[in-house]
Structure 1
Amino acid sequence: MAAVGSRGTIPEASPFKPEEDVEKLRSAMKGAGTNEATVIEVLAHRTIAQRQRIKEAYKQSIGKDLKDDLIGELTGNFEKVVVGLLMTAPEYDAYELHNAIQGAGTEEAALIDILASRSSEEVRAINNYYKKKFDKSLEDDISSDTSGMFKRVLVSLTTAGRDTTDSVNDAGAAQDAKEIFEAGEARWGTDEVKFLTILCVRNRNHLLKVFDEYKKVSGRDIEDSIKREMSGCLEDVFLAIVKCIRNKPAFFAERLYKSMKGLGTTDSILIRIMVARAEIDMMDIKAEFNKMYGKTLHSFIKGDTSGDYRKILLELCGGDN
């Protein structure tokens, strides 16, 4: 696998002078109106680490918080993207999870997208930041806001207990596949705990083998069985886990496609993925998008958004390829 960050669309700016960037942003916000083009030019072309240095330099030289100043100047979805770009990865994920739980009703999509796709190390960092920032544990907040087996799956993912080795036990994988089959397709009713125990705990390589074995035992893909056996949020979270194990960029490509196709745009999903993945695997997500839908992600975003919001997303997307 390529090194983390090497499949992103935002390379490190070089030369990088945070003081000059501060001056540009300050000028962009002076007087009546804001020069949004400058905000995009600076923030969409710096890495997360570089943006943290810009925030520090801004506070030092101006004595104010860059985020607060930008929030005072910007509005709507464009503001949401900019605010997201100013955060570190665990901070952004924690903030999105907190918003998903605190709002009227729970935005299950956010809980599923984030917790099913982050590594154990990433989830631990999110937990730490969440506790520090909101003075409550993420697990407690999820527990009080969700219920049933869906809650149990999310809590399991929140513990970041997935095996992180690469070891595959062939006999164990065959046994796991048999147990999932017997817990679902082969019986009346479904023993969801068995799905949870295997899908939330085993390592990726082992699970890929389990999926192969499952097809031999049951004659169908595990995704098809999940769709037949489950419904609602539980079906969504198990499918997300399986898809992320198989091919994470393809999972995000599908989420982006669904957020834009049809009437209206689910901006919360579009923004979250574009901001969170820009520096990690956006190039791979674009390639999968093209392969799956025969169109570029760039063209989809262009046709589905407008104004400065469109401009900044297109910068995060990188070229139209």
Structure 2
Amino acid sequence: MAAMPPLKAKSGFPVSNKLLQKRWNDKAFQLHQQKVAAMKADLDNKSPKPYQHIRLRLKKLLAEEERQAQVDHDNRKLLARMTQIMRTHGSLDNWNDYTPRSLNYYVREKEAERIATNNELIKSRLLGVQPSYDLNKWEEDFLKHEYYLANMAAVTKDYDLDSLEPTPRDPLRRRRPRSAGTETDRSTEAASTTDGEVETTKLPKIKLERSKGGGTWPPRRFHTKLPKVNRVDKNKVDLSQHDVDRDSRMLFKATKGLSQNEVSIVIKTLVRRTYRQRQETKAKFWELYDKELSEDLKSQLSDDFAPVIDALLVEREKFDAMTVHDALKGSPSAEATLIEILCTRNNRALEQIKKAYRDEHLNNLEDDVRSETAGQLQDLLLGLLAGDRDESNQVDEDLARQDAQELYEDEKDRWSTDSDSKLMSLITTKSYAHIRATFTEYEKLAQTDMLDVLKDELSGEFFVAMVALVKVIFYCPKFFAERVYRAMRPRGDAATLIRCLMTRAEADMPLIRKVYKKTYGATIMDDLDSYVSAPYKPILVDLVRGSDGQDGQKKSQKRINGMVIHRAPPAAQTTAPSAHPPSQTRGRQEQPPGTTLPEAIGCCTEGEVV
């Protein structure tokens, strides 16, 4: 192992104490390090001092504030415009619901109109041209020719006359007897005179008689007459029969303005058709032209026709849902309208109305009834919407008498609308036949009319609804006759008039017409002519006049679209007549003899629903 070199002092001399020398050397090294660390450089390489105006960038901040102020100003203006539009519905139609069209659409449309006009002119000229051939003259010449041939055959040799039948006009023609074993001589010979000279026969003169048709011809028994020529107008179209293709094309021409009278086309192709046929035409129109028929008709006709077009073409359940929604929002005679819809539809139709209401308004009908109504009216409407009604036509007289007795004796809760009350159980679950029998028995106990009972004991909206309900139950046609009468008066509602005539046209319009004339002393058509001046009046008149049956056929007595049409009931189910005198049954139409409840009220009990 090598020995450590001896420590030396700074001067280079050996030291006397190694420990002290080592300590001194370490301290000197530390001082050296401290001096090196504290040494300052000759060059200043520190970062320059930052200035405040460079860090803040005031000009950029000012530009951003100005831009933000401009954006806020524009947003305020846009918000003010949107608020104004929402309050006033705006003055411009900014809906982009147009269909793309070519640049020369109007040119092609005018060209199509010009061609259609020219075709109409050509058609009118062709129809107005008189024929240059006379059929009577042809028949006259043919008969003359046949007459000449027959006369020539009488004097011509070997001409077979056996097929000809002698007539009084041809005295010279005689059938010659056939001799046995000899050949029959078929030639016509001259008659021999006494002096042996042969006298030739002369043809008879042709005597032409003027016929009723204007031609001249000799009547001949053996001649087969020519068949009569039936002139058929190929341009005349029979619109009494439903043809979905023809109706769709006629409506398309009407929507394009190519027809002279669009209202007449609507009457012939829609009003005089049944509900199902109108829906078929609507679907066919979409299939052929890829357009909505109702929208095209509204664009061609005036705005006054919009409710009529909706009533004609909108599906029945959607139309009822729209009516109920408008009634809940405060339309005129809302209570009677709600009773009209809910009490003249069967359970299945009510389910379809609730589904259509939910699809159209994105809310349940029951929830809207709870939010828009209150009290007893709300309970009544919710009970009718439940759809738990018995739809049979059977009537238990004993049970009806018992229900009437319980309702009459319960003076405190007689008109209570609680879910467990007798009234609600009767109105919402029992059949209309049972309700009518119960009310009839109640009238016997109270010795007064049911309407007078309601007037004395009820008030407000619930009173109006109950009056409408009683009128519908006792005699539905009279209820609708009254609705039509009030709707046509100066303060009436056009929507109610259109709806009643449209929905009852295929149901019980003949009865409504009869009751209307008996009650008010005038026909519905006369009052339409006197009180209605809207451009759609011909459509309403045709609905009333043509309700007995379209296509020349009488309508069968069955329910259409959830409404019962009068059916002949069994004789054993007839209800008992009222016990009070006629003076106590005002407001009610007497039933025809031999009819039961469904025939008398026209309400729903069973059947198909579209």
Structure 1 and Structure 2 fold alike (TM over 0.5): yes
- Assess, with a 3 A threshold, how the Cα gap between structure 1 residues 117 and 227 changes in structure 2: closer, same or farther: farther
Instruction: Give aligned pairs, total.
Output: 306
Partner residue of 1:29? Answer: 255
Partner residue of 1:201? Answer: 429
User: Which of the two has higher C-alpha Rg?
Assistant: 2
Partner residue of 2:524? Answer: 297
After the TM superposition, which residues 11-30 of structure 1 pair with which residues of structure 2 at under 5 Å, given as runs? 15-30=241-256
Partner residue of 2:483? Answer: 255
Of structures 1 and 2, the one with the larger relative CO (CA 8 A, separation 6+) is 1
Distance in 2 (alpha carbons) for counterparts of 1:175 and 1:240: 24
Distance in 1 (alpha carbons) for counterparts of 2:302 and 2:426: 44
Distance in 1 (alpha carbons) for counterparts of 2:547 and 2:271: 16
TM-score, normalised via structure 2 length: 0.47
Shift of 1:210: 0.9
Partner residue of 1:70? Answer: 297
Distance in 1 (alpha carbons) for counterparts of 2:517 and 2:336: 23
Distance in 2 (alpha carbons) for counterparts of 1:241 and 1:104: 18
Shift of 1:165: 2.0
Once the two structures are superposed, residues 248-276 of structure 1 have per-residue CA deviations (whole angstroms, 9 ceiling, x without a partner) of: 11111111112223x33321211110111
Greater helix content: 1
Partner residue of 2:462? Answer: 234
TM-score, normalised via structure 1 length: 0.86
Letter in 1 for 2:375: G
Structure 1 window deviating more from structure 2 (301-310 vs 146-155): it is 301-310
Partner residue of 2:356? Answer: 129
Q: Is 2:513 aligned against 1:286? A: yes
Distance in 2 (alpha carbons) for counterparts of 1:212 and 1:181: 12
Letter in 2 for 1:168: V
- Assess, with a 3 A threshold, how the Cα gap between structure 1 residues 171 and 318 changes in structure 2: closer, same or farther: same
Letter in 1 for 2:245: E
Distance in 1 (alpha carbons) for counterparts of 2:527 and 2:374: 36
Distance in 1 (alpha carbons) for counterparts of 2:329 and 2:287: 33
Distance in 2 (alpha carbons) for counterparts of 1:115 and 1:294: 30
> Could you say what secondary structure the match of 1:306 adopts?
coil
Shift of 1:45: 0.9
Shift of 1:214: 0.6
Match of 2:538 among 297, 308, 311: 311
Partner residue of 1:218? Answer: 446
> Tell me, which stretches of 5 or more residues in structure 2 are unaligned?
1-238, 549-610
Structure 1 window deviating more from structure 2 (120-129 vs 297-306): it is 120-129
- Assess, with a 3 A threshold, how the Cα gap between structure 1 residues 175 and 307 changes in structure 2: closer, same or farther: same
Distance in 2 (alpha carbons) for counterparts of 1:67 and 1:141: 28
Letter in 2 for 1:191: S
Shift of 1:285: 1.2
- Assess, with a 3 A threshold, how the Cα gap between structure 1 residues 238 and 37 changes in structure 2: closer, same or farther: same
Alignment RMSD: 2.6
Partner residue of 1:3? Answer: none
Residue 178 of structure 1 contacts residue 214 of structure 1 at CA under 8 Å; is this kept in 2?
yes
After the TM superposition, which residues 166-205 of structure 1 pair with which residues of structure 2 at under 5 Å, given as runs? 166-183=393-410, 186-187=411-412, 190-193=415-418, 194-205=422-433
- Determine what percentage of the aligned residue pairs are the same residue: 32
Distance in 1 (alpha carbons) for counterparts of 2:331 and 2:465: 21
